[in-house]
Amino acid sequence: MENITKNITEQEIWKLLEQVYDPEIPVLSVIDLGIIRDVKLNNEAIEVFITPTYSGCPAMDVISMNIRMALLQQGFTTIKITQKLSPAWTTDWMSDAGKEKLKSYGIAPPLSKSFDINYFENLTIECPLCHSINTKLISQFGSTSCKALYQCNDCKEPFDYFKCH
Amino acid sequence: MPGQHINHPHVQLFNYTLHLADNSLVMGHRLSEWTGHGPMLEQDIALTNIALDLIGQSRNFYQYAATLKGGSETEDTLAYLRDAREFRNLLITEIPNGDWAKTILKLFFFSTYQFYFYQKLMLSPDEQLAAIAEKSLKEVTYHVRWSSEWVIRLGDGTGESKRRINTSLEDVWPYTGEMFEMSDFCKIYLPDNEVNEIKKAWQQKVKDVFEEAMLTYPAEENVWMQTGGKNGIHSEHLGYILAEMQFLQRAYPGCEW
């Protein structure tokens, strides 16, 4: 195994991390989410810097473990995963490809406007199923920390909206 | 840190961080008691999400506190292996939930405090505390919004809802003074003028929401305020919370699942 890591570059690690998915929203990789801050390679030791999406998000622990597993499979033995809180993650860090994937998965992606303390959502959210913009907010809090619950007034389907943060 | 004087800056920073962690943990744990008991599914989920945010914030503070302490201290030993006297949370976080109106009102008071406090903490020269504040503020903004809407709905609702929130106001109000009270470990990190700014902003926000909710803002003079939490002097309620929360680690030390 030890030979495998020899010629791997940081760029290839980034590529590899595209295969590590969010356990709650399995269409999004950690790259799509924009939570990988940095990757540092030093011979056989590797350090990955990640930033949490939400303080209490239980997926973060699973994501850290999955990153570790992916690196172990590449033959790394000294793996450090460091959580970096600042600058705080916002939904703007999510890639455009990620937003498209969310939409086709049935979750309305966050609107591009990033969140600040003066920002209160009174937004037009498009139904990811029938694309109507005639939708209403059911609850600011949904099935996970990152989502709000909406309903489409036209097709009547309830749907998740990945809220701005 | 062992052997350092209680007024040593490093010890003060540790106590300050613990205070912030304990606030979020105890409030989060209290709110989590509503999980599965909310009046309707969406509101049950909302409170559970808020509880989760708070417990997540407390993890960040505990992790930092553990690095300050060093040795074998971890976020878990700090949360699960200290007794009530060592907790430094505000009393408002530990009082029982009561009915929906009381839960909403204490969450509104506490979240509004956190909302203005974190905006100050974000500017702290301590980078880690500033980072946790920056992260937490986004979440707290949603808590303030949600709880304000409910205060308005209850205050300007039916006779029954108005009666209940007014009764809750009498119960909860004496716990609001402690938020703006300084203790030794707070003084270094939060100068008097900043506390006053937080207090003013908090009062204004409460007044604005109360006006919309058709509630009377309590006269501030002659109200006796509860105190003690920051220095480890708690109500009997904290002991019950800890008994439930810490049971597993006390009965089966080091248990993981």
Question: Which of B59, B130, B137 minimises the CB distance to A117?
Answer: B137
CB B146 within 8 A of CB B115: no
CB proximity A143 to B under 8 Å: yes
Give a yes or no: residue B1 inside a domain.
no
Confirm if B179 and B116 have CB atoms less than 8 A apart. no
Residue B134 has a pLDDT of 93
Would you state the torsion angle of the CA atoms of residues A60, A65, A70, A74, taken in this order, to the nearest 10 degrees?
140
CA atoms within 13 A on the CB side of A131: 1
At A16, give phi and psi (nearest 5°): -60, -35
What would the mean pLDDT of B80-99 be, rounded to a whole number?
A: 97
B42 and A145 within 8 Å at the Cβ level: the answer is no
| Residue B57 within a domain | yes
pLDDT at B231 over 50: yes
Q: Do A145 and B49 touch (CB under 8 A)?
A: yes
Q: Residues 6 or more apart from A8 whose CB is under 8 A from it?
A: A41, A74
Under DSSP, is residue A36 helix (H, G, I), strand (E, B) or coil?
strand
Do B53 and B139 form a contact (C-beta atoms < 8 A)? yes
Which domains does chain A possess? 10-83 (3.30.300.130), 104-162 (no CATH)
Answer whether B138 sits within 8 Å of A88, measured CB to CB.
yes
What's the gap in Å between the CA of A3 and the closest CA on chain B?
A: 35
Distances (CA, A) of B70 to A47, A78, B243: 22, 22, 26
Tell me which H or E stretch contains A48: strand A45-50
State yes or no: pLDDT of B142 exceeds 50. Answer: yes
Model confidence at B173, pLDDT cuts 50, 70, 90, reads very high
Q: Is B198 contained in some domain?
A: yes
The candidate with the shortest Cα–Cα distance to A126, out of A104, A96, A142, is A104
Does residue B4 belong to any structural domain of this protein?
no
In this complex, the residue of B42, B139, B145 whose CB is nearest that of residue A55 is B139
Q: Identify whether the C-beta of residue B166 lies closer than 8 Å to the C-beta of residue B144.
A: no
> How many Å lie between the alpha carbon of B143 and the closest alpha carbon of chain A?
10
Token couple for A107:
């979750």
Q: Do the chains contact at A56 and B146, CB–CB below 8 Å?
A: no
Picking from A23, A51, A52, A56, the residue whose alpha carbon sits closest to that of residue B50 is A56
Distances, alpha carbon A148 to alpha carbons A54, A79, A145, B84, in Å: 14, 35, 8, 36
Mutation site for B-interface testing, chosen from A35, A57, A85 by largest number of B Cβ within 10 Å: A85
Q: Rounded distance, CA B46 to CA B68, Å?
A: 34
Q: For A10-20, what is the mean pLDDT?
A: 92
Q: What is the ipTM of this complex?
A: 0.85
Please give the average per-residue pLDDT across B216-225, as a whole number.
84
Number of domains chain B contains: 1
Enter the pTM of the model: 0.92
Residue B216 DSSP one-character state: P
B3 assigned to some structural domain: no
Six-digit token pair at B32?
Answer: 């989590």
At B110 the pLDDT is: 98
* Contact with chain B for residue A26, Cβ under 8 A: no
Higher-scoring residue by pLDDT: B222, B250: B250
Compute the C-alpha angle B21/B22/B23, nearest 5°.
Answer: 90
* Joined tokens for residue B240: 């019950």
Best-predicted range by mean pLDDT (A1-10, A59-68, A114-123, B6-15):
A59-68
With b meaning 16 or more CB within 10 Å and e meaning fewer, what string describes B216-236?
eeeeeeeeeebbebbebebbe
Please, where are the H alpha helices in chain A? 10-17, 30-33, 59-73, 96-105
| Residues ≥6 apart with Cβ < 8 Å to B118 | B133, B134, B136, B137, B140
Confidence class for position B54, pLDDT limits 50, 70, 90: very high
Residue B51 pLDDT more than 80? yes
Specify the CATH number for the domain of residue B60: 1.20.1260.10
Q: Say yes or no: A137 contacts chain B, CB-CB below 8 A.
A: no
pLDDT tens-digit profile of A44-89?
789 999 999 888 888 888 999 999 999 999 888 899 999 999 888 8
Kindly report which listed range (A2-6, A134-138, B120-124) carries the lowest average pLDDT score: A2-6
Pairing label, strands A158-162, A107-108? parallel
Residue type, B52: L
High-pLDDT (> 90) share of chain A, %: 56
Q: How far apart (Å, rounded) are the C-alpha atoms in residues A12 and B96? A: 53
B127 with A86: Cβ contact below 8 A: yes
Q: Mean pLDDT score of chain B, rounded to an integer?
A: 93
> Above 90 in pLDDT, residue B133?
yes
Q: What residue in A sits closest to B46 (Cα-Cα)?
A: A141
Interface test with A, best of B142, B148, B209, B257 (most A CBs within 10 A): B142
Measured CA to CA, the distance from residue A162 to residue A99 in angstroms comes to 9
User: What does the alpha-carbon distance between residue B47 and residue B36 come to, in Å, rounded to a whole number?
Assistant: 10
Q: Smallest CA–CA separation between B52 and chain A, in Å?
A: 5
Domain extent, residue B99, equals 9-218+227-251
Q: For A19-53, how does the pLDDT look when each residue is reduced to its tens digit (9 = 90+)?
A: 999 998 999 999 999 999 999 998 778 999 999 98
Tell me what pLDDT residue B234 has: 98
User: Does the pLDDT of residue A1 top 50, yes or no?
Assistant: no
Q: What is the pLDDT of residues A91-125, one digit of tens each?
A: 889 999 999 999 999 999 988 665 555 555 567 89
Cβ of A6: how many Cβ atoms within 10 Å? 9
Q: Quick check: is B107 in a domain?
A: yes
Mutate to test the interface with A, among B137, B138, B139, B144 (most CBs of A within 10 A): B138
Element (H, E) at A44: none
Q: How far apart are CA B132 and CA B121, in angstroms?
A: 9
Which residues on neighbouring strands pair with residue A151, listed in sequence order? A136, A158
Q: What is the pLDDT of residue A2?
A: 47
Q: Do A85 and B42 touch (CB under 8 A)?
A: no
